[in-house]
Amino acid sequence: MALTREQLAQRVAQEFQDGFYVNLGIGIPTLAANYIPEDMQVMLQSENGLLGMGQFPLDEKVDPDLINAGKQTVTMVKGASLFSSAESFAMIRGGHVDLTVLGAFEVDCQGNIASYMIPGKLIKGMGGAMDLVAGADNIIVTMTHASRSGESKLLSECTLPLTGKACIQRVLTDLALMDIEDGKFILRERAPGVSVEEIIALTEGELVVPDSVPEMVL
């Protein structure tokens, strides 16, 4: 079975390490915050100027001056800090954020990512995504493996305008976890009950299948 959104979030959270500063994009990445292990300290960065983002506020504690990058009202954890957008992106571009998780439309085996623009459709903008992919060394892209019509989103070459060039090394889809090395996807894990053949069939870019591809443990 393909992973649900919650399961994707759970698998993302397994990439967290104690003491990590993490930036989570809107959507599935944000859900990963719910699966931070209790014995681990992880600090969430929100690019609008907050390090140490907490959960949503209680109704009576909503503060219009405290939102996340998705413009949702949030809280701060103990030890949080606040700063300007310039400072926030200095952290991001300067490589100080340990892990970035974000969504995409397409990823190719050169490590290119397309995530902000579909020509002919309404363009809303890249927000902070271009800065995040350019600045971080450790990025996980979460996405569905194929479109609803069954077309692969893991390509030999992205067809959409790029958000970043040669910057992605790890992709988690609803079917598989893959690394990108030397212009190839390397299959590392498969979703429980999903066969290697299914993954091969839905991966357009070159895919290396090691002898053993374990199922994800969730």
Catalytic residues, by residue number, are 47
Give the residue, chosen from 16, 31, 101, 135, that forms a contact with other proteins under the rule CB under 8 A: 135
Site map 86..115 versus other proteins, x via CB under 8 A: x-xx--xx------------------x---
Please say whether the beta carbons of 120 and 162 come within 8 A: no
- CB 76 → other proteins: shortest distance, Å? 8
Instruction: Give yes or no for residue 36 binding other proteins (CB under 8 A).
Output: no
Count of CB atoms situated within 10 Å of the CB of 215: 11
The identity of residue 130, as a single letter, is M
Which residue, 14 or 161, is less far from other proteins as judged by CB?
Answer: 161
CA angle centred on 217, ends 211 and 218, rounded to 5°: 150
What strand order describes the sheet that includes 50-53? 76-82, 50-53, 42-46, 20-24, 99-103, 139-143, 170-173, 176-181, 184-190, 207-208
Of the listed pieces 5-13, 37-45, 126-134, 144-152, which binds other proteins according to CB under 8 A?
Answer: 126-134
Q: Using alpha carbons only, give the angle 42, 163, 183 rounded to the nearest 5 degrees.
A: 90
Q: Which of residues 60-89 bind other proteins (CB under 8 A)?
A: 62-68, 70-74, 76, 82-86, 88-89
Site residues (CB under 8 A) for other proteins?
46-50, 55-59, 62-68, 70-74, 76, 82-86, 88-89, 92-93, 112, 117, 122-131, 134-135, 161-166
